[in-house]
Chain A
């Protein structure tokens, strides 16, 4: 069965500093990978996705992620964090049914940004 691990429950960075959020997945075939962001009391907003092709994917709000099959990782990065990036970030994997449906989510990483 597919699974996702986000090892960091809570991360604090200073505004303007770089950010990397870790995500490791377990899946037998080529996974479909996603990063979502959630502000308090809100739904999930898609930041970026990986289906195939170029392993470095660009997303919205200046985020990028790199798929590394050898490490089963899909880490999210941003070169310079803004205070508005404070939120909870979820990595997800789909593909259990051969499609991108039935997403399995990690437990999330809460990002705090200090000014």
Chain B
């Protein structure tokens, strides 16, 4: 079974631009979560989607948004990029909304210049 796939793996953007990251969960998984990893703040939860609905949201500004499609694939969007948005963005999928473990993708490394 294929794992969680994130595209692209690397991105370089300029301040003020916007960016869209994509995540394809493990086949059959309906929950997708996003995390931001930075050296200063560590791993922080962004949001979770389940069956196309946002179920949980972390403490990030409204510039960070996401969505989930009917095939469970998810995208996250960051608008008006700031230098501090440079990070590794990790996507995780779970089989359902209950008590199951999260499986992570390789991440997308975003650099804002």
Contact = CB atoms under 8 A, between A and B. Distances in A.
28 contacts: A34-B102, A41-B109, A42-B106, A42-B107, A43-B6, A44-B92, A45-B104, A46-B102, A49-B101, A51-B99, A97-B55, A97-B56, A100-B99, A101-B31, A101-B48, A101-B55, A101-B56, A101-B94, A101-B102, A102-B48, A102-B58, A103-B33, A103-B43, A103-B45, A105-B43, A106-B42, A107-B42, A108-B42
Contact of A105 (B42, B100, B105, B107): B42
B98 interface: yes
A49 to B, nearest CB: 5
A97 B109 CA distance: 28
A100 B56 CA distance: 12
Interface string B88-104: 00101010011111111
Given A44-B90, A102-B45, 19 more contacts: A32-B99, A36-B104, A43-B4, A43-B6, A43-B105, A43-B107, A44-B92, A46-B104, A97-B55, A99-B97, A101-B102, A102-B33, A102-B48, A102-B58, A103-B45, A103-B92, A105-B43, A106-B42, A108-B42
Contacts, number: 63
Interface in B68-113: 90, 92, 94, 97-107, 109
